[in-house]
Structure formats: C-alpha cells, structure tokens
C-alpha cells in the first residue's frame, strides 16, 4: 500500500505541466497550440519570453528531483525500500509525459529526467549533463544531445548505483525519453532537425525540454 501511495503522489506531482502553468501566468499562448506543440521549455522559448522558458525548465526539473528526494527521505519510515524509490522515479516521469491534469498531453521529459537523476545521485546527474554538453558542442543539436545522454544514462547508473532497481528505473526513463523523441529521431534521419542557435520555429530544439 505504501508503494502505491508514493507512486500515485509522484505521478500527480509529475502531472503538473509547468509549460502550461507558466504560460498561463505570463499570459502566453498554450504551448500545445503552436510550434512543435510540445509543452516544454523549448516551445515556451519560442514566444520570446526567456524568463518563462527558464521557469518552465526549472519547474520540470524540480518536480523530478523533489519526488525522488522525498521518497528517499520518507520511504524507510513507512517500511518501503529501494524498489519504491525507483518506482517513484518512473511514476513522476510518466506524470510529466502523460499528465492527468492536462489531457495526458505532456512534454518530452529531458528536464524532469535530469531532476530525477540528480536526486538519485548527484554524480549520475552531472555525468549525464556533461555528456549532453559534450554532444551539444560536437553536433550543435539539442535533441541529438539529449538522446545521446539518455543512451548513456543507464550505463552510468549501473556503474555508479549498481545494476539494481535504480538501473532498471533509469533504463525505463531513458526508453520513454527515446519514445517521446520519435519525431526528432525522424527529423534527424532526414536531416531536418533544427540546430542550437538556429531561428525558432518548426520542430527543432534549443535548450532541453
């Protein structure tokens, strides 16, 4: 029962779509109605409001971090262990991808995944950030950098945390992130994906979503 409660609360926290909430607070259009139609920081940035995009990025990362951090803090007190914490990590990510409060139209999950990884282990999150930065420097494509970082994340998790339930949770999050980037993958294969620094518009990326 404890695991179910923790997972449900994590999913509900993940369902808070900061792209939509911040856009409403700033009087901006619904990010699901223009550009890539993805409710993430990149699409919010297309409005020209950098502060709104930054708040979206911070909020999406924070909810992933907070969900896992609170699970780590309170799981043992309620008789739950590593499996519950790992389940919470997946649940908050699923909430972001398929938010209950916003017709299950969520973002791609890069920022939320980062928050999750930083909470699981600071070194794990930093390793993934370093991989993203290196890939972005080499190829100047945000979505490709996110995919490369996501591909390496399970291996980093195995090396840092061990090949256990946390490795499985990170592998699931990475697989879901790949799934949500399927259009970006098609654009990459067709040579149509936007590059970092290119004019906003279309489905290309700038910062992580």
Per-residue pLDDT tens over the stretch 13-49? 999 999 999 999 999 999 999 988 999 998 999 999 9
pTM, to two decimals: 0.92
| Number of domains present in the structure of the chain | 1
Q: Is residue 20 part of a domain?
A: yes
Q: Is residue 206 part of a domain?
A: no
Contact 176, 93 (CB under 8 A): yes
67-103 pLDDT tens trace? 999 999 999 999 999 999 999 999 999 999 999 999 9
Q: Is residue 199 part of a domain?
A: no
Q: Above 50 in pLDDT, residue 198? A: yes
Which residues have a Cβ under 8 Å from the Cβ of 181 and sit 6 or more positions away?
108, 143, 146, 147
- Residue 199: pLDDT band with limits 50, 70, 90: low
Q: Is residue 173 part of a domain?
A: yes
Q: What is the pLDDT of residue 105?
A: 93
Q: Is residue 208 part of a domain?
A: no
Give residue 51's domain range: 2-190
Q: What angle do CA 49, 55, 56 make, to 5 degrees?
A: 90
Q: What is the pLDDT of residue 197?
A: 63
Q: Is residue 17 part of a domain?
A: yes
Q: Is residue 153 part of a domain?
A: yes
- Residue 194: pLDDT band with limits 50, 70, 90: confident
Q: Is residue 201 part of a domain?
A: no
């Amino acid at each position: 029962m404890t695991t179910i409660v923790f997972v449900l609360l994590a999913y509900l926290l993940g369902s808070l779509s900061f792209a939509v909430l911040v856009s409403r607070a700033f009087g901006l259009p619904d990010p699901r109605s223009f550009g890539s139609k993805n409710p993430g920081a990149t699409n919010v940035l297309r409005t020209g409001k950098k502060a709104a995009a930054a708040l979206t990025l911070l909020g999406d990362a924070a909810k992933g971090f907070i969900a896992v951090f609170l699970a780590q803090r309170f799981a043992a007190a309620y008789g739950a262990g590593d499996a519950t914490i790992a389940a919470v990590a997946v649940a908050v990510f699923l909430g972001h991808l398929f938010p209950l409060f916003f017709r299950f139209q969520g973002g791609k999950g890069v920022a939320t995944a980062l928050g999750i990884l930083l909470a699981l282990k600071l070194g794990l999150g930093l390793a993934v950030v370093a991989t993203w930065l290196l890939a972005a420097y080499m190829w100047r494509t945000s979505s490709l950098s996110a995919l490369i970082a996501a591909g390496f994340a399970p291996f980093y998790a195995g090396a840092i945390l061990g090949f256990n339930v946390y490795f499985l949770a990170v592998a699931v999050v990475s697989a879901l992130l790949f799934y949500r980037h399927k259009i970006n993958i098609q654009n990459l294969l067709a040579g149509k994906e936007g590059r970092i620094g290119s004019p906003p518009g279309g489905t290309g990326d700038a910062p992580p979503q």
